[in-house]
Amino acid sequence: MSTYITFPPCQHLSKVLSSSASDTVLKTYNTGMKICLISSFPNNNKSRKTTYITKDGREIEHRQLSQLKTNILKCNDCFSNSSIFMCLQCPNIGCLKSNHALGHAKSSGHIFGIDPNTGHLICFKCRDYVGDPKLERLRINQIKKAGMLSNFRGMPIYNHEHDLKKHKLIMSDSRLPSYKATTGLKGLVNMGSTCFMSAIIQTLVHNPFIRDYFFAGSHLDCDKEIDQCLSCCVGEIFQDFYTSNSYTGFGPVSLLTASWKVKRSLAGYSEQDAHEFWQFLLHQLHKNDTTRDKKENTPPGNGNGDLMNTNLYNCNCITHRTFAGELQSSIICSECKSVRITIDPMLDLSLEIQEKNPDNNLKTPISSLNACLEKFTKPEKLDVMYSCSTCNKRTEVTKQLKIKKLPSTLGIQLKRFEHLAQSVKVETHVDIPLMLDMTNYTLSDNDSEPRIGNNLYELFAVVCHIGSVNTGHYICMVKSRDGVWFRFDDVKVTQVTQDDVLKSKAYLLFYIIHELP
């Protein structure tokens, strides 16, 4: 049983499973898994006619089962079927977006919920997914049953002989990659002070939006040599990470060569900043993608490859689809209270991790990411006088930043490096949440209230800098699709605990939008 890999258990789940209620919990969870799999059986692609045969011989099409599941599984309070959880201890169903699931957990003490899309268990006290080999064994067994029972007609139907021949040709000339290959868990060989590059690549390789882009073959028709195109180099890494059965680390020679050709300051073997390389690589993905869009006559960005000057509404490149948001700056006149609003594009947030005392200019550490965000978005009185166009006076002004549009992937840089009279690294530990609610730092369309909608993000990657400001080393920790955290130290890949992640001194954080279909 211990061979089943799952989310780590929390103290609350461990306590329940070691109590006399364990058998009841396991039985209830097993029933919950059956509900989760009502419409989840093989080959449920819309183009295929998939039918379920009941015990009495009746046929039920997949779309009918899906509709049945949708009609049944709704939030008891608002009747939403988006981002819902089934209570493990009673028949209640609550949603995440309106906090009805959390409210039920607080009022009833029922702190565990089942995700009906995956069968994973969430602990509302810990605000994170949890697991146990016993539960995972039940989950996997139910999935196996759903995929192997003889009463599922799951095979596609080919109407033409040509299609059948094509299918046989594909099957005879293809092979399935090993399970290890499909996880993408592979290290990168250090080519000489390239740990900054390795850490950033791991955050992209395990980002589902970037992964889906390359898996869809969106950059296959590039006519450049591989060392002339950074997107081709990244595509090469994806191909090796997700199809090769080799256990050895991948040497990103093409990526390194192409990077040197595009940006001369990267040439050589001196240590580089991981955040700057991340910005550089996103710039190249954007530039290559918009150039490709021009060839296909699809709406591109402004075409000049400038990330921050691109009209976000027109640019459909992978960089902007994944990371782009909008930041609103409000300048408030102290006399007439008029507000001047400017909206700028953003690809990430750079947050101070120290607070300066105005009385003595001494800096004190900021202990949590939420506190960093509060400092970033709180009103700030500017030192300069401002000519107000409304009251025609030179007055003092207050400036406030809020996020107008949230991205699919939220990148955050914690400002650990100061370059003043001398370069200094700030070693402050900042508490980082696994689930980040951005509601308090956003604006709705009326510019006066927090944005309503899905503002919840889940941490999936952390980049850390180990060492001094001049001589250091980058490592990356990533949450896999199975919910297990792994540490990538160049070619070395090791499993780590959730606590290891939370105790780390993060430099870059990557949160992905927590939206359950």
Note whether 110 and 130 are within 8 A (CB).
no
Note whether 9 and 121 are within 8 A (CB).
no
Give the active site residues: 195, 473
Note whether 400 and 332 are within 8 A (CB).
yes
Distance of alpha carbon 265 from alpha carbon 187, whole angstroms: 25
Distance of alpha carbon 407 from alpha carbon 510, whole angstroms: 11
Note whether 207 and 511 are within 8 A (CB).
no
Distance of alpha carbon 366 from alpha carbon 429, whole angstroms: 9
DSSP for residue 390 = T
End-to-end Cα spacing for the chain? 31
Q: Write out the H or E segment, with its range, that includes residue 466.
A: strand 456-467
3-state secondary structure 46-108: CCCCCEEECCCCCEEEHHHHHHHHHHHCCCCCCCCCCCEEEECCCCCEEECCCCHHHHHHHHH
Choose among 454, 409, 459: nearest CA to 432: 459
Residue linked to tokens 């508490």: 431
Would you state the structure tokens that stand for residue 414, as one six-digit string?
């914690």
Residue linked to tokens 């090796």: 240
Residue linked to tokens 């989310």: 7
Note whether 133 and 25 are within 8 A (CB).
no
Given CA atoms 341, 342, 343, 346 in this order, what sign does their dihedral have? negative
Q: Residue 459: phi, psi to the nearest 5? A: -65, 130
Note whether 276 and 309 are within 8 A (CB).
no
Given CA atoms 32, 34, 38, 39 in this order, what sign does their dihedral have? positive
339 beta partners: 332
